[in-house]
């Protein structure tokens, strides 16, 4: 404070003294921010068509960084960072990186408030599951992938769940193909959105799904390579929906990785870098991820969510999300569209 006051006063004095000679700006200098932006651009290999584009992106970057720093100064649960999404607006982020089809949640209207009977049942169920689980430690989770600017989150979420149950049941970890789902599952809209349950149905009806290396990810929808459809590296019998409450989700995750829909549209989600995410977020589902475990730290119970925005986002591609929130929907609506494949 003292420093700011003194420099303001100095500035005023300079103004008063030199008003007649030349204009002096008292505005804060942008140069440290421009320098920071230059370093960020180098780190993320950004180039721009022209100076206008560059200036436009710089202004967005600057506004985002200011928001990130203000947020970090007051939030202890989790932190934000100027990650690879730092030069796009939240509206652009929502448009490019979500991808769950709308109007699909299973929230029973009457069930939104938790009742006594429900929590009694929940307590019983709680007793039957381990205190914590992390399927990554059991080799049932493959490396984090990157959907790129293509709304195929639903395919990544479903594939991670199928890889998980395949490893748990057969002992084999096989990286499976999201691209097969994006190209060949005609019920969904490829990069323009889909549902994990449709992906499970596709794999069941097709008799299986091929490997990542046989049908690699392209980041855009292409023609279905029909010759790959009878390459079956993993098969499933179908899928089950999880009842809409956190205890049922807990029980399901204790058995295998589970696909969930969430509301990931907030700026806090866009710039999340580490800690236990506690919101803010709504419950309007727009993104699919896979829950691969749960645990507790000193302060919060949390879910471990595997995302598909590359290993540079969040905690090496993962987010810890607060568990045990009021009501049945969970944080960001995490319980409202949960499902898992059955083999
Ligand atoms: C940037 O480009 C370099 C060289 O092509 C590459 O090694 C690096 O992984 C790229 N970084 C990112 C964040 O894409
Ligand atoms: C699971 O939930 C979805 C979304 O509400 C629904 O369309 C589907 O029929 C359900 N599937 C099963 C197997 O219950």
Render pLDDT for 42-67 as a digit per residue (tens, 0 to 9): 999 999 999 999 999 999 999 999 99
Residue 121 and residue 62 share a domain: no
Residue ranges making up the domain that contains 237? 112-342
* Residues in the chain, total: 343
Residue 288 belongs to a domain: yes
Domain check: are 64 and 130 in the same one? no
Whether 229 is in a domain gets the answer yes
> Each residue of 139-153: pLDDT tens digit?
999 999 999 999 999
Task: Give the number of domains in the chain.
Answer: 2
Q: What is the pLDDT of residues 32-44, one digit of tens each?
A: 999 999 999 999 9
Supply the CATH number for residue 119's domain: 3.90.70.10
Q: Are residues 188 and 118 part of one domain?
A: yes
H helices of the chain, in order, are 2-18, 31-43, 51-74, 90-97, 116-127, 153-170, 178-184, 196-206, 246-255, 267-270
Provide the angle, in degrees to the nearest 10, between the axes of the packed helices 153-170 and 196-206: 50
Same domain, 34 and 126: no
Q: What is the pTM of this model?
A: 0.85
For residue 295, the CA-to-ligand 2 centroid distance in Å is 28
Round to whole Å and give the CA distance between 187 and 204: 14
Q: Is 106's C-beta closer than 6 angstroms to any atom of ligand 2?
A: yes
Inside any domain, residue 85: no
Q: Ligand 1 atom 6: the closest Cα is on which residue? A: 45
| pLDDT tens column, 107-122 | 654 444 444 455 555 5
- Ligand 2 atom nearest residue 239's Cα: 13
State whether the beta carbon of 105 lies less than 6 angstroms from ligand 2. no
pLDDT tens digit sequence for 154-205: 999 999 999 999 999 999 999 999 999 999 999 989 999 999 999 999 999 9
Same domain, 50 and 166: no
DSSP 29: P
């Amino acid at each position: 404070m003292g420093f700011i006051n003194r420099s303001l006063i100095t500035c005023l004095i300079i103004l008063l003294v030199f008003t007649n000679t030349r204009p002096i700006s008292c505005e804060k200098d942008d140069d440290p921010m421009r320098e920071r932006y230059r370093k960020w651009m180098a780190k993320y290999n950004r180039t721009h068509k022209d100076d206008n584009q560059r200036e436009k992106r710089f202004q967005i970057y600057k506004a985002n960084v200011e928001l990130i720093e203000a947020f970090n100064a007051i939030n202890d649960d989790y932190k934000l960072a100027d990650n690879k999404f730092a030069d796009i607006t939240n509206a652009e982020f929502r448009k490019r990186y979500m991808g769950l089809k709308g109007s699909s949640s299973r929230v029973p209207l009457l069930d939104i408030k938790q009742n006594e009977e429900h929590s009694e049942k929940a307590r019983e169920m709680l007793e039957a599951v381990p205190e914590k689980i992390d399927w990554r430690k059991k080799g049932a989770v493959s490396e984090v992938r990157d959907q790129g600017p293509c709304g195929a989150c639903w395919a990544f979420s479903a594939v991670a769940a199928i890889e998980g149950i395949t490893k748990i049941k057969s002992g084999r970890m096989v990286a499976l193909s999201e691209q097969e789902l994006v190209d060949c599952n005609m019920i969904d809209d490829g990069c323009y959105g889909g549902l994990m349950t449709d992906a499970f149905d596709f794999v069941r009806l097709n008799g299986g799904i091929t490997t990542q290396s046989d049908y690699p990810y392209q980041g855009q929808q292409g023609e279905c390579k029909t010759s790959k459809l009878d390459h079956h590296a993993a098969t499933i019998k179908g899928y089950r929906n999880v009842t809409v409450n956190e205890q049922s989700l807990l029980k399901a995750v204790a058995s295998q990785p589970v696909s969930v829909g969430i509301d990931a549209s907030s700026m806090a989600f866009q710039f999340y870098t580490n800690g236990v995410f506690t919101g803010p977020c709504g419950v309007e589902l727009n993104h699919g991820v896979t829950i691969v475990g749960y645990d507790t730290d000193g302060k919060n119970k949390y879910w471990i969510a595997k995302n598909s925005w590359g290993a540079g986002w969040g905690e090496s591609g993962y987010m810890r999300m607060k568990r045990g929130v009021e009501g049945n929907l969970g944080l960001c609506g995490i319980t409202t569209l949960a499902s898992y494949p059955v083999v």
